Chain A
Amino acid sequence: MNRKLTYAFIYVFLTISAFVSVFPFYWMIVGSTNKSVDVNKGKLTFGNQFLENFYKLSENFDLGQVIWNSIQVSLCVVVFSLIVSSMAGYGFEMFKSRGRDFTYATVLLTMMIPFAALMVPVFRLMTFLNLIDSLWGVILPMIPSVFLIFFFRQNFQQYPKEIIMAARVDGASEPRIFFSIIMPSMKATYAAAAIYAFLTSWNAYLQPLVIIQSQKNRTMALFIANLASGYQPDFGLVMMAVVIATLPTLILFFALQRYFVQGVLGSVKQ
């Protein structure tokens, strides 16, 4: 095949694929401005129901509370998960010993276990801890992230060991080295990890579904699921809720995209 033709074909293929990827986002936003009937009929143009849908959603449901619940869960998971996972990744990478290598291998193996398999015991445990229907019951099990431990360890591999040695010679304590030298200098890694932790917690469905029982403690995902699975749902409202749930993740992604790409690339690079 002629080279120019090959490239023309590649551009067409990529453009169509990119269009298919982005189109549902467009349609979701369009849907939030339309009436239920129009969404159901697949209307492709903007309507004038945007404010109407928003008012209906916030008047009929405790939208503010739902969003606040999701924010609380996500913030706690991001903060705790980053601290705990990066400390572990650092510990595994910088202080090597046979016992810890074995522990690490065991930790990695647990990546294979689906949450559904842990659902019942976690529910029992939360009942025992009296955390059923509480946001902490959602947050705590999401803090240990095997993926993030792995991710941080991979990224710490590239950290120059000489700096740590020099700090030790200067008499800095180990926690001080970690918290005031390493942490501030690994911004890209932490930003990428933060996006990952935010996305997982903000979007989590099964775990809150098992733990949360009352309306007032619902998170965004539970709310949308509820709204969409009811009898004859109002599709305009559903789309509005979907837009509200998706917007923060989009903003975060675009704001931190550079770090995110860097972080992902860093973790797979060896």
Chain B
Amino acid sequence: MVAKGFEKIQDKWGWIFISFATIFLALFIFYPLVYSLYLSTFSTKGIIKNFVGLGNYKRLLQDNYFILSIKNIFVILVIQVPIMLFLALIFAFLLNDPKLKLKGVYRTALFLPAVTSLVAYSVVFKMMFSTEGLVNNILINLHIIKEPIRWLLDPFWSKVTLIIAMTWRWTGYNMMLYLAGLQNISQEVYEAAEIDGAGKTAQFFRITIPLLRPIILFTTILSTIGTLQLFDEPMMLAAGVTTGSSVGPGNSLLTPSVYIYNVSFKYVPNFGYASAISYMIVIIAVILSIIQFRVAGEER
């Protein structure tokens, strides 16, 4: 009897402790999510609201801007995310070596970009990559290129700039997560491999990558979601570069988040349509995460 009473009180305290967070989450995540689904069945122009059912979703599939924005982030997903995660893995692997000196300095230096604000670093990169700017100067002085590259004025190069910028900002962050994961792998495993004559490359591919698989999956999902929400960087890199409503040259930097923002706040606001786009993004995020879980699970 006494034990039961204790459990009941414990249960009450459990709910009390989580209540504040739950209320906030309900108000600012669950409610918006449900409301957004409801709103996505309407076409709204200012205060005029017409029920259109699945009309917004049908319109989406034929909306070239929406399709382009999806294509744009898939390029990032397929190119930037693997490069960044691979680099982060290499850094973590190298810095995990107990024989390496200056570990702390390297770790701090590589992690430093992760404390900058997305707006601030994008602005700095925009200036470094201006046509008459720093990066072109360096490349010309090193005789790597003859003519300045029009980094931000060309649809192809603007994506390259975005990829370079994002890799700079996020590699150290992911490295930190891998380093944390590597703490759980005993150094003896590496010592044994070394005695068996395994080189650094073999150790990296045969030990580090397989043992870090759960964290690699975690970071892949985080990066996927991060890419799907990409907003600050394209907004800053594109600002003032082109005239009109194009986000980057030829809309090369248009992402779904930027598009949602423009549909909701920049053009004649259509909250209903914006909500439909939002839902597509949520659905894509969930599908990609499930695929990644499956792939990681199968390889085991």
Contacts and interface: CB of A to CB of B under 8 A. Distances in A.
A113 B33 contact: yes
Interface string A141-175: 10110100100000000000000000000000010
A121 B31 contact: yes
Contact of B21 (A96, A125, A144, A265): A144
B35 interface: yes
B117 A39 contact: no
B118 A113 contact: no
A112 B120 contact: no
A62 B162 CA distance: 31
Contacts of B124: 24, 27-28, 31, 239, 242
Given A124-B35, A229-B239, A242 B123 contact: yes
A31 B256 CA distance: 33
Nearest to A83: B20
Contacts of A47: none
B29 interface: yes
A88 B229 contact: no
Closest 8 CB pairs of A and B: A95-B14, A91-B17, A42-B134, A121-B32, A203-B117, A88-B21, A229-B239, A114-B229
Given A14-B106, A25-B112, A225-B239, A87 B18 contact: yes
A97 B13 CA distance: 12
Interface stretch (B52-60, B75-83, B152-160, B259-267): B259-267
Q: Which size class do B's interface residues fall under? A: 35 or more
Interface residues of A, number: 94
Interface string B177-215: 101110110000000000000011000000000000001
A140 B236 CA distance: 26
Contacts of A221: 117-120
B25 A238 contact: no
Judged by DSSP, the binding face of A is helix
Contacts of B36: 117-118, 120-121
A111 B225 contact: yes
Contacts of B10: 95
16 contacts: A13-B94, A14-B95, A27-B134, A41-B132, A42-B128, A84-B20, A88-B17, A107-B25, A113-B285, A117-B33, A118-B28, A121-B275, A174-B16, A205-B117, A224-B117, A224-B119
